[in-house]
Amino acid sequence: MSDDQDIRVEREEDDPHAAQNTLSRYALRIEALAELLDEKGIVSGQEIEDSMHRMERSTPSNGAAIVARAWTDPAFKTRLINDPLSVLDEMEIRLEHDPGLTILENTPDLHHVVVCTLCSCYPGVCSAARRTGTSPSRIAKGSS
């Protein structure tokens, strides 16, 4: 069986009539891993769901909103440079870990270049792009 073939499984706990559901081989692996993590007390099913929802809400437009506001609101820009994690918290943007975030300001003599591959920051956007053949930036903007 190839990796992209579907496996028919019966899931009585999800369907009292034991109807067959089609899950991909990868979906079955992910489900088994999530159940094992929950059983071992490493991470709960709810924590996994919460993390997935955070990733789905994380798009490049979050960063664009921060930059646009910093350009138009000098007080916000000052707070962002001095305490970026607090500002992100105020905007309800949560980071999974402390990346040691530093905000740098361009000047007439010094310009910073940021290169982002999107894949680690916006996994939902990138997987949707691969699935649909659409560019990640178009998906992040909500267009197709």
So which residues are the catalytic ones?
116, 119-121
Classify 24 as helix, strand or coil: strand
Distance CA 59, CA 126 (A): 10
CA distance to 50, 55, 87, 110, 123, per residue, from 37 (Å): 15, 19, 33, 47, 21
